[in-house]
Amino acid sequence: MISNLYTTIPMKQLLIFLTISMFVFSCKEKKNNAETQVIQESPTITFPEKAKSMSVYEVNIRQYTPEGTFKAFEKHLPKIKKLGTDMLWIMPVQPIGLKNRKGGLGSYYSIQNYTAINPEFGTMEDFKSMVKNAQEMGFSVILDWVPNHTAWDNPWVTEHPEYYAKDSVGNITYEADWTDIALLDHSNAALRASMIEAMKFWVEEVDIDGFRCDHAAHEIPMLFWDEVRAALDPIKDLFWLAEWDEPKLHPQFHSSYSWGLLHLTEDVAKGEKNATDLFDFFKEDLEKYGKEAFRMTITTNHDENSWAGTVFERYGEGHKAFAALIFTAPGFPMIYSGQEVGMDKRLKFFEKDSIDWSDPKGLFPFYQKLVRIKKNNAALWNGAYGGLLQKIEVGNENVFAFLREKDENRVTVLINLTAETQEISIDADKYIANAKEAFTNKTLNITDGKAALAPWEYLIFTK
């Protein structure tokens, strides 16, 4: 075949043919190498960057549906996806202790067995199915973890009493008025190792995406979290959220609770604090935590709702204004089950008490819009991925006015923190020129450099 080819094709044409063939082959090889190189050099996005534009949704399985099961909750995943939140924090799913139980069903945080499922919620297979389905829909699923204490009938109490804190006469003790729990002693290396093995179970067996760690620093040394991260990080890229408010938790945790902001906003709602106090808070928080920490911001959660009151009790008619604040100011915002439909009752903590999903106040579109505004504006992203808060001087301490910028994106926010109309002075050309208000698409009515904000009015201008 080769000899015939050479003899039938003139030499000049043969040389041209060979040259073209070599060029085509070289191009294909370069293209293939380039494609391979791109694939090899493409970085895998990990936490915290993976969560840079996310907001969190806290899931209370017991109260979410009349059934109170994983299977019943799973049917609501499309609705949460429509809301726009990307991370699901699942409250504890383990069996609840019977000994010294409070109420009929007990506290989610009284753990009887760290590696089992509460049968009231369903089976382990039900939970795995729920997690897998959520992940396939694009959610990151983090599990509530209780490292500080166990139920009194947890096997460790009898098998490993050395794992527990003791009082002055050697009896296992509890914390505060939490009589349904037994306090653990994290100075015991064997306890720490057993706890880590239990956490590893949920990563390897269920493939969860991280942990929300209850009571993360009280009586728990940072050494424990060092050991946890060293053991679990090689298994999977995980997200770490600490229910505590201390800078020492970083960098072992990506996110920590901004309890200070929650209580400050409640004081502002009562008229006891104002915008000056808010600016002071954010300045001090940045100095303490730096810009990389994801600071969890909330207006409610399972504890606040059950023990302190609903958002309507604590914020009154200003509840939407403060929700707008936590979604636009620096922070990692969270929505609690039922908050997005205006749940106007304190859910019972130790009993069955289903959420009403009828949304009588029509709040779902409001929270959906807040989530989208945050996600679609890089200036509002979490931690160092977003822009710093910059104060806008408006001549009125009852109005929280600020802007955040990231690259070409700018968001300007004006929030009336009171139930009275407030007048402000603002340079429209400097701050809101060519920007549109995210909820109304309207422009701010400014006369002679002055504008009025209605009671509890919130304006978010995006550019």
CATH of the domain at 426: 2.60.40.1180
Q: Is the pLDDT of residue 33 over 70?
A: no
Average pLDDT for residues 20-38, to the nearest whole number?
47
Q: Copy the structure tokens of residue 134.
A: 């959520």
Residues 82/54, Cβ–Cβ less than 8 Å: no
Q: Is 292 left (phi over 0), alpha (psi -120 to 50) or beta?
A: alpha
Q: Is the pLDDT of residue 23 over 70?
A: no
φ, ψ of residue 172 to 5 degrees: the values are: -60, 135
* Residue 228 to residues 6, 195, 210, Cα–Cα distance (Å): 71, 9, 12
Average pLDDT for residues 55-68, to the nearest whole number?
98
Residues 435/409, Cβ–Cβ less than 8 Å: no
Residues 11 and 89 reside in one and the same domain: no
Which strand (E) or helix (H) includes residue 458? Answer: strand 458-462
Burial of 254 (0-12, 13-18, 19+ CB in 10 A): buried
Residues 232 and 251 reside in one and the same domain: yes
Weakest mean pLDDT among 41-55, 94-108, 177-191: 41-55
Residues 107 and 234 reside in one and the same domain: yes
Amino acid making up residue 417? L
Residues 310 and 418 reside in one and the same domain: no
Average pLDDT for residues 244-262, to the nearest whole number?
97
Q: Which of 371, 386, 401 is the last residue of a domain?
A: 386
CA distance 430 to 420: 26
Average pLDDT for residues 278-286, to the nearest whole number?
98
- Which candidate, 330, 332, 250, places its Cα nearest to that of 283? 330
Amino acid 277: pLDDT: 98
Average pLDDT for residues 27-56, to the nearest whole number?
70
**How does 410-426 read in b/e, with b if 16+ C-beta sit within 10 Å?**
bbbbbbbbbeeebebeb
Amino acid 9: pLDDT: 44
Q: Copy the structure tokens of residue 73.
A: 């909750």
Assign 41 a pLDDT band (cuts: 50, 70, 90): low
CA distance 122 to 447: 61
Helix count and strand count (H, E) for the chain: 16, 17
Q: Copy the structure tokens of residue 79.
A: 């609705």
Amino acid 253: pLDDT: 98
- Which candidate, 175, 180, 184, places its Cα nearest to that of 157? 184
169 contact partners, CB below 8 Å, separation of at least 6: none
| Summary mean pLDDT of the chain | 93
91 contact partners, CB below 8 Å, separation of at least 6: 58, 59, 60, 61, 62, 108, 144, 302
Average pLDDT for residues 152-156, to the nearest whole number?
98
Is the pTM here over 0.95, yes or no? no
Amino acid 39: pLDDT: 44
Residues 170 and 23 reside in one and the same domain: no
- Angle between helix axes 319-328 and 259-269 (nearest 10 degrees) is 150
Q: Which of 341, 360, 386 is the last residue of a domain?
A: 386
Q: What percent of the chain is modeled with pLDDT above 70?
A: 91
Which strand (E) or helix (H) includes residue 406? Answer: strand 399-406
Residues 183 and 106 reside in one and the same domain: yes
Burial of 15 (0-12, 13-18, 19+ CB in 10 A): exposed
Residues 357 and 373 reside in one and the same domain: yes
φ, ψ of residue 49 to 5 degrees: the values are: -55, -35
Amino acid 43: pLDDT: 79
E strands along 179-246, which residues? 181-183, 210-213, 239-242
Assign 1 a pLDDT band (cuts: 50, 70, 90): very low
Residues 451 and 314 reside in one and the same domain: no
Residues 260 and 241 reside in one and the same domain: yes
Structurally, the chain folds into a number of domains equal to 3
DSSP codes, 112-124: S-TTS--TTT--H
Amino acid making up residue 381? W
Which strand (E) or helix (H) includes residue 459? Answer: strand 458-462
Weakest mean pLDDT among 41-45, 169-173, 330-334, 366-370: 41-45
Q: What percent of the chain is modeled with pLDDT above 90?
A: 88
- Which candidate, 194, 189, 198, places its Cα nearest to that of 221? 189
Please compute Rg for the chain using Cα positions. 28
Q: Is the pLDDT of residue 10 over 90?
A: no
Amino acid 382: pLDDT: 98
Residues 23 and 79 reside in one and the same domain: no
Residues 403/411, Cβ–Cβ less than 8 Å: yes
Residues 278 and 423 reside in one and the same domain: no
Amino acid 7: pLDDT: 39
For 209-252, how does the pLDDT look when each residue is reduced to its tens digit (9 = 90+)? 999 999 999 889 999 999 999 999 999 999 999 999 999 999 99
Amino acid 31: pLDDT: 46
Residues 110/184, Cβ–Cβ less than 8 Å: no
Assign 36 a pLDDT band (cuts: 50, 70, 90): very low
Amino acid 35: pLDDT: 45
Q: Is the pLDDT of residue 307 over 60?
A: yes
Name the 3-class secondary structure at 336.
Answer: strand
Residues 333/382, Cβ–Cβ less than 8 Å: no
Assign 42 a pLDDT band (cuts: 50, 70, 90): low
- Which candidate, 337, 336, 340, places its Cα nearest to that of 262? 336
Q: Is the pLDDT of residue 299 over 60?
A: yes
- Looking at the DSSP assignment, which residues form a beta bridge with residue 209? none
Tell me the residue range of the domain where 433 lies.
391-462
Residues 37 and 60 reside in one and the same domain: no
Average pLDDT for residues 407-432, to the nearest whole number?
97
Q: Is the pLDDT of residue 4 over 60?
A: no
